[in-house]
């Protein structure tokens, strides 16, 4: 799961890094704890030069009420045990909630870091995960627009795609990882001419040795907490940075897939 992440608003950096234009509308605030229902900047395939503030938690256009689907599994229902060696088809292309979006409504979700926790403790034992090589990066996301039939209100929403755990999330005992895109693949992800088979090939775990993992405060568990203190390591003199290289054959344990209603994601890192 990836249900919480960090988005520090630096428009000049976003313009330079993603090749977008300065936003015309009001700029949203930075959040060190983007949670389901919050607004965050995304870049969509239909407006690749614009920063747009969408709501975290996808609601398909056909839904009768808001659904807040924060994550979309790359494997769909085909890997219930979260086998890190899974090599079957990307079942997301067949899931009713995602099969249209994965083909025609893809987006980049801008992030500085994200939070995860062990399968059992979840955000009661949070870790901030960020890239070692980039200050800001993107998750592979999908989006949709939902209209409330009763009020006419329009909601633009998005979901972060997840895949099996990489070495970094394995180390903290978490069975999944968000799909982090390489910079060279971001334009391809937004390219509607790219065959679906090539699109699905991008849904791979990001190399764990390029990520830094630090234990942070349990206060991130409360989605109302948005301040910068959340990304400060619990003990800055003892930063937890796992040695990935010697633990490639680590096996996952305790990976139950129980669901909780409206459970927030994890994300965050050392912020700059």
User: pLDDT tens-digit profile of 63-82?
Assistant: 999 999 999 999 999 999 99
Grade residue 244 by pLDDT with cuts at 50, 70 and 90.
very low
Q: State the chain's mean pLDDT as an integer.
A: 88
Residue 89 reports pLDDT greater than 60: yes
Note whether 6 and 201 are within 8 A (CB): no
Average pLDDT, integer, range 246-266 = 33
Note whether 230 and 214 are within 8 A (CB): no
**Structure confidence at residue 242 (pLDDT):** 38
Grade residue 260 by pLDDT with cuts at 50, 70 and 90.
very low
The residues annotated with a catalytic role in the active site are 2, 116
Question: At the topology level of CATH, where does 5-238 sit?
Answer: hypothetical protein yedk fold (3.90.1680)
Q: For residue 5, which of 165, 123, 118, 87 has the smallest C-alpha distance?
A: 123
Q: How many CB atoms lie within 10 A of CB 216?
A: 27
Note whether 200 and 161 are within 8 A (CB): no
**Structure confidence at residue 11 (pLDDT):** 96
Grade residue 183 by pLDDT with cuts at 50, 70 and 90.
very high
Grade residue 235 by pLDDT with cuts at 50, 70 and 90.
confident
**Structure confidence at residue 2 (pLDDT):** 87
pTM: 0.86
């Amino acid at each position: 799961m990836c249900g919480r992440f960090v988005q520090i608003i630096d428009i000049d950096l976003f313009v330079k890094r993603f090749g977008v234009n300065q936003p015309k509308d009001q700029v949203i605030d930075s959040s060190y704890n983007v949670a389901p229902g919050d607004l965050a900047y995304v870049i969509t395939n239909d407006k690749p030069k614009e920063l747009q503030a969408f709501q975290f938690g996808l609601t398909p256009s056909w839904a009768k009420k808001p659904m807040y689907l924060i994550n979309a599994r790359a494997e769909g229902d085909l890997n219930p045990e979260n086998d890190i060696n899974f090599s079957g088809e990307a079942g997301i292309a067949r899931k009713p909630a995602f099969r249209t979006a994965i083909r025609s409504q893809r987006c980049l979700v801008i992030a500085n870091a994200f939070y995860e926790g062990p399968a059992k403790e979840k955000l009661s034992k949070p870790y901030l995960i960020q890239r070692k090589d980039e200050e800001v990066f993107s998750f592979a996301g999908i989006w949709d627009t939902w209209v409330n039939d009763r009020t006419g209100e329009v909601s633009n929403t998005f979901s972060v795609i997840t895949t099996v755990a990489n070495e970094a999330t394995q180390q903290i005992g978490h069975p999944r990882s968000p799909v982090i895109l390489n910079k060279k693949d971001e334009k391809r992800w937004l390219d509607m001419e790219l065959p679906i088979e090539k699109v699905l090939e991008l849904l791979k775990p990001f190399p764990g040795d390029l990520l830094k993992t630090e234990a942070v405060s349990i206060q991130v568990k409360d989605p109302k907490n948005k301040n910068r203190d959340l990304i400060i390591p619990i003990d800055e003199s003892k930063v937890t940075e796992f040695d990935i290289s010697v633990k490639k054959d680590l096996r996952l344990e305790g990976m139950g897939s129980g669901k909780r209603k409206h459970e927030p994601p994890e994300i965050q890192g050392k912020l700059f």
